[in-house]
């Protein structure tokens, strides 16, 4: 794209604190506004940022006989015949002629007014795909307009926008034109910065993207590598970086209890553990301990592959809060995981005279009351539980640290609610927060969506683990799998059998689990076969998990409820049915349930044939790698960041234009520019944030 001369001097940094009020959408009717809202368009400026997904070329008029086939083209002619026909179906058929040839235009849906409008002698311009039909060249349902011989053709490509029911392209095109004319498109960034980054101006970029000239290179527009696209993507990434940084800095203005590392209880626990911390665990712990000493809330993500030993690090962090007289809350996403934490923390901490209580929605009323009382009086040093922990009835006497395991499984509101539990009324004191995740975050994701958090990574597994061997087995070779299970259990090991995920129906999924359990009971009369699934009452779930941990159950049939956190070191065999239906991260998590002890473990992925090419490639990744980072990187590429972030729950707006894979250079630049702007040109930063996030400043992660 040629750079046009800058039409208007960009506002000087600091000249105006914010962008002028945006043109509103107020003049459109309610149904239109509802449809626009579905597209995420709430203000006129959102239309400016609602960019075309492709373009039609209506800038070139072709003669009928020379028009390209198989791609939409613009032709023009005079109607020579026009009739409503009934064979094979009611339809309006018009013949259009130019100097070079004849074309049939066919409408299966039409109004009677169109019959009149397209009377013989009328000159029409048609846009559509020409196909060779029974009666020669024809266009079905072309876009058409009545023209005069001297009506000019479009000078720019026609944008095709993402849309929704109730909003047609013509409407969107008109509204967008209006929005472009009415909105303030002045640059938010100084010219010298743009020159340095070799990016075009904002106004010219959006005008170009909405209405590119015919010469515009379509591939560069289509694959979004055009400078105008790069400018929009840069702006988006910059807004994201700015908002993350603003949030990060703002946290430093909130107070939190300073919890000095006294190293008494922590040392006691360390001495009691049957193992030494790995180097990576020790490093993560040091980072957390340093954060806890600060007078503002820690918000740290402790990230480590399954089995890397995050729990003990969390326990040591908890002790630092407890030895300073504060309480700790540990929230887990499932009952099973919560129970396990409760068992583990209780075992580790009770000998240190630390009282740990359990709180879940399924507790008997009396037990719940007792837990609540202990939490409120301060008799309990630590409360472990599920979502129940942040419900209203829970009042902490002195919460200093909230630990959230598998953080991406919780919604923003849930995490915020837990943190507010510890906020002292009327003050800005909040507890520290430690989030844990076994889903490794690829670097680009960490740099973008997680830029507002501090991150500690446990990047090594405890020693002495034998690697997990992964086998891919076709459904037809079930017998061999059965034999493997028998062998393993005879040798004193235990095994999991994970039932297929059935996304469409929970009922069907449950039924499959019940059927599988019945079948395996019959197959293995000599073994104790247990069953655990999401619908089981909590007490039964607990009983089953206990039996499995104790070794009373040898083969555990389970739905994906065991995906997170379950830790039974004696289990060395994992069978996953219909592995092709599961996400890579999920398979990796499931596989991580074995390989926790000293003996060699195996994960058998059973797949149903035939396997699609994509499914084959995905299974190959899990087969070839046991490195969570490699798998996550691949997942990011295939499924986008939404899945890795925990769908829409992250509370951070998704990037719409920038692609973390393709635009890593822009991401890195945006990060550096964001830091510089906030430090040296806060007004510019403010204006840019205002433009991109407008009223949506509640994006902040909590
Ligand atoms: P995750 O990071 O997946 O939550 P866990 O905290 O459940 O992993 O730890 C997995 C297993 O490894 C547990 O049985 C735990 O006691 C054990 N473990 C943790 N740290 C070490 C270590 N440094 N050396 C040996 N075993 C360890
Ligand atoms: Mg864990």
The burial class, CB within 10 Å (0-12 / 13-18 / 19+), for 105 is buried
Q: Which residues pair with 576 in a beta bridge?
A: 498, 605
Beta-carbon count within 10 A of 614 CB: 10
pLDDT at residue 12 greater than cutoff 50: no
Last residue of a domain, one of 153, 172, 198: 153
pLDDT at residue 25 greater than cutoff 90: no
Residues 205 and 296 in one domain: no
Which residue's CA lies nearest to atom 16 of ligand 1? 309
The pick from 278, 306, 311 for probing ligand 1's pocket by mutation, whose C-beta has the most ligand atoms within 8 angstroms, reads 311
What's the pLDDT score for residue 246?
A: 86
Q: HEC states along 208-223?
A: HHHCCCCCCCHHHHHC
Residues 214 and 297 in one domain: no
| Per-residue CA distances from 330 to 387, 390, 418 (Å) | 10, 11, 10
Alpha carbon 232 to chain centroid, angstroms: 21
Residue-number span of the structural domain to which 193 is assigned: 30-55+160-223
Is 130:73 a contact under the CB 8 Å cutoff? Answer: yes
Beta-carbon count within 10 A of 402 CB: 29
Name the least confident of 266-270, 278-282, 309-313, 439-443: 439-443
Report yes or no on 636 lying in a domain. no
**Residues within 6 Å of ligand 1 by CB:** 275-278, 281, 304, 306-312, 438, 462, 565, 567, 569, 596
408 CA from centroid of ligand 2 (Å):
13
Report yes or no on 1 lying in a domain. no
Extended strands (E) in 371-437? 382-385, 399-404, 432-437
Q: Which residues pair with 571 in a beta bridge?
A: 494
Report yes or no on 216 lying in a domain. yes
Report yes or no on 169 lying in a domain. yes
Report residue 6's pLDDT band, with 50, 70 and 90 as the boundaries.
very low
Residues 474 and 592 in one domain: yes
pLDDT digits (tens, 9 = 90+) for 561-618: 776 667 888 999 999 999 998 888 888 888 988 888 778 899 999 999 888 888 888 8
Residues 513 and 448 in one domain: no
Residues 454 and 472 in one domain: no
Rounded to whole angstroms, how far apart are CA atoms 295 and 373? 29
Is 386:340 a contact under the CB 8 Å cutoff? Answer: no
Last residue of a domain, one of 153, 185, 203: 153
Which residue has tokens 């994970």? 498
660 CA from centroid of ligand 2 (Å):
28
Rounded to whole angstroms, how far apart are CA atoms 529 and 371? 34
pTM over 0.95: no
> Taken in order 250, 255, 256, 257, is the CA torsion positive or negative?
positive
Report residue 424's pLDDT band, with 50, 70 and 90 as the boundaries.
low
What's the pLDDT score for residue 61?
A: 93
Report residue 440's pLDDT band, with 50, 70 and 90 as the boundaries.
confident
Is 558:532 a contact under the CB 8 Å cutoff? Answer: yes
311 CA from centroid of ligand 2 (Å):
6
Residues 347 and 475 in one domain: no
Residues 213 and 312 in one domain: no
Mean pLDDT of 618-631: 88
What's the pLDDT score for residue 324?
A: 96
pLDDT at residue 471 greater than cutoff 90: yes
CA angle in degrees (0–180, nearest 5) for 574-578-579: 60
Dig out the tokens for 418 from the structure: 């837990």
**Strand pairing category for 382-385 and 136-140:** unpaired
For residue 308, give the CATH number of its domain.
3.40.50.300
Residues 146 and 210 in one domain: no
366 CA from centroid of ligand 2 (Å):
29
412 vs 306 pLDDT, higher one:
306
Residues 404 and 371 in one domain: yes
567 CA from centroid of ligand 2 (Å):
8
Residues 674 and 528 in one domain: no
Report yes or no on 210 lying in a domain. yes
Which residue's CA lies nearest to atom 17 of ligand 1? 309
pLDDT digits (tens, 9 = 90+) for 374-411: 999 999 999 999 888 888 788 899 999 999 988 777 76
- Is the previous residue joined to 131 through a cis bond, with omega within 30 degrees of 0? no
Q: Give the DSSP letter string of 349-372.
A: HGGGT--EEEE-TTS-HHHHHHHH
Residues 97 and 179 in one domain: no
Which residue's CA lies nearest to atom 20 of ligand 1? 309
Dig out the tokens for 593 from the structure: 């349930």
409 CA from centroid of ligand 2 (Å):
13
pLDDT at residue 216 greater than cutoff 80: no
Ligand with an atom nearest the CA of residue 569: 1
> Ligand 1: which atom is nearest the Cα of residue 276?
23
pLDDT digits (tens, 9 = 90+) for 118-135: 999 999 999 999 998 877
Number of domains composing the chain: 5
Mean pLDDT of 615-644: 81
Report yes or no on 687 lying in a domain. yes
The mean of the pLDDT values for the chain is 86
Is 702:416 a contact under the CB 8 Å cutoff? Answer: yes
Report yes or no on 198 lying in a domain. yes
What's the pLDDT score for residue 362?
A: 80
Residues 178 and 308 in one domain: no
What's the pLDDT score for residue 7?
A: 39
Q: Which residues 6+ apart lie within 8 Å of 350 measured at CB?
A: 356
> Ligand 1: which atom is nearest the Cα of residue 596?
11
Is 342:545 a contact under the CB 8 Å cutoff? Answer: no
Which residue's CA lies nearest to atom 4 of ligand 1? 310
| Per-residue CA distances from 36 to 43, 115, 695 (Å) | 9, 33, 17
Dig out the tokens for 663 from the structure: 């635009």
Last residue of a domain, one of 458, 483, 508: 458
427 vs 30 pLDDT, higher one:
30
> Taken in order 503, 505, 508, 514, is the CA torsion positive or negative?
positive
Per-residue burial over 46-79, b if 16 or more Cβ lie within 10 Å, else e, is bbbbbbbeebbbbbeeeebeebeeeebbbbbbeb
Mean pLDDT of 633-646: 70
236 CA from centroid of ligand 2 (Å):
35
Report yes or no on 519 lying in a domain. yes
Ligand with an atom nearest the CA of residue 405: 2
């Amino acid at each position: 794209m040629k750079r046009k001369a800058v039409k208007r001097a960009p506002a000087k940094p600091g000249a105006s604190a914010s962008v002028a009020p945006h043109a509103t959408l107020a003049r459109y009717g309610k149904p239109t506004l509802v449809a626009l809202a579905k597209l995420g368009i709430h203000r006129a400026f959102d239309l400016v940022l609602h960019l075309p997904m492709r373009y039609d070329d209506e800038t070139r008029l072709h003669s009928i006989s020379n028009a390209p086939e198989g791609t939409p083209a613009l032709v023009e002619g005079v109607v020579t015949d026009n009739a409503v026909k009934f064979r094979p179906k009611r339809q309006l058929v018009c013949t259009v002629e130019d100097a070079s040839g004849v074309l049939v235009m066919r409408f299966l849906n039409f109004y009677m007014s169109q019959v009149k409008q397209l009377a013989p002698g009328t000159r029409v311009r048609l846009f559509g795909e020409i196909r060779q039909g029974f009666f020669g060249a024809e266009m079905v349902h072309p876009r058409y307009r009545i023209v005069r011989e001297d009506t000019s053709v479009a000078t720019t490509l026609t944008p095709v926008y993402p849309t929704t029911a109730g909003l047609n392209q013509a409407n969107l095109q008109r509204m967008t034109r209006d929005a472009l004319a009415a909105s303030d498109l002045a640059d938010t960034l100084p010219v010298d910065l743009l020159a340095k980054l070799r990016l075009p101006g904002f106004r010219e970029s959006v005008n170009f993207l909405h209405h590119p000239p015919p010469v515009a290179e379509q591939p560069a527009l289509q694959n979004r590598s055009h400078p105008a696209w790069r400018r929009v993507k840069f702006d988006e990434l910059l807004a994201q970086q700015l908002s993350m940084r603003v949030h990060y800095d703002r946290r430093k203005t909130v107070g939190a209890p300073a919890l000095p590392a006294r190293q008494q209880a922590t040392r006691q626990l360390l001495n009691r553990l049957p193992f030494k911390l790995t180097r990576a665990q020790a490093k993560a712990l040091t980072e957390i301990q340093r954060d806890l000493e600060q007078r503002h809330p820690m918000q740290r993500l402790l990230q480590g592959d399954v089995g890397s030993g995050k729990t003990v690090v969390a326990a040591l962090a908890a002790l630092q809060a407890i030895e300073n007289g504060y309480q700790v809350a540990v929230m887990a996403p499932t009952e099973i995981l919560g129970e396990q934490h409760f068992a583990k923390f209780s075992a580790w901490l009770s000998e240190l005279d630390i009282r740990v209580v359990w709180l879940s929605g399924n507790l008997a009323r009396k037990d719940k009351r007792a837990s609540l009382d202990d939490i409120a009086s301060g008799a309990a040093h630590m409360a472990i539980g599920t979502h129940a922990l942040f419900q209203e009835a829970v009042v902490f006497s002195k919460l200093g640290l909230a630990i959230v395991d598998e953080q991406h499984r919780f919604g923003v509101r849930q995490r915020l609610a837990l943190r507010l539990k510890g906020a002292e009324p009327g003050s800005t004191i909040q507890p520290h927060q430690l989030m844990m995740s076994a889903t490794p975050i690829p670097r680009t994701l960490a740099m973008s969506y997680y830029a507002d958090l501090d991150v500690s990574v446990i990047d090594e597994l405890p020693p002495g683990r034998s690697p997990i061997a992964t086998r891919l087995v076709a459904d037809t070779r079930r017998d061999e799998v059965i034999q493997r299970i028998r062998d393993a259990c005879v040798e004193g090991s235990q095994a999991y059998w994970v039932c297929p995920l059935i996304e469409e129906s929970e009922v069907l999924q449950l039924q499959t689990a019940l059927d599988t359990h019945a079948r395996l009971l019959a197959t293995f009369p000599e073994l104790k076969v247990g069953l655990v699934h999401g619908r089981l009452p909590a007490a039964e779930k607990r009983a089953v998990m206990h039996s499995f941990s104790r070794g009373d159950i040898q083969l555990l049939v389970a739905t994906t409820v065991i995906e997170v956190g379950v830790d039974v070191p004696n289990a060395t065999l994992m069978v996953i049915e219909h592995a092709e239906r599961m996400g890579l991260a999920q398979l990796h998590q499931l596989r991580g349930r074995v390989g926790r002890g000293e003996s060699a473990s195996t994960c058998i992925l059973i797949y149903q044939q035939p396997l699609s090419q994509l499914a084959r490639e995905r299974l190959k990744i899990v087969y070839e790698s046991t490195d969570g980072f490699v798998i996550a990187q691949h997942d990011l590429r295939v499924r986008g960041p939404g899945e890795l972030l925990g769908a829409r729950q992250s509370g951070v707006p998704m990037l719409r234009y920038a692609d973390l894979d393709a635009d890593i250079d822009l991401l890195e630049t945006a990060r550096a520019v964001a830091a510089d702007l906030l430090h040296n040109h806060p007004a510019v930063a403010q204006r840019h944030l205002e433009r991109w996030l407008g009223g949506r400043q509640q994006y902040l992660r909590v």
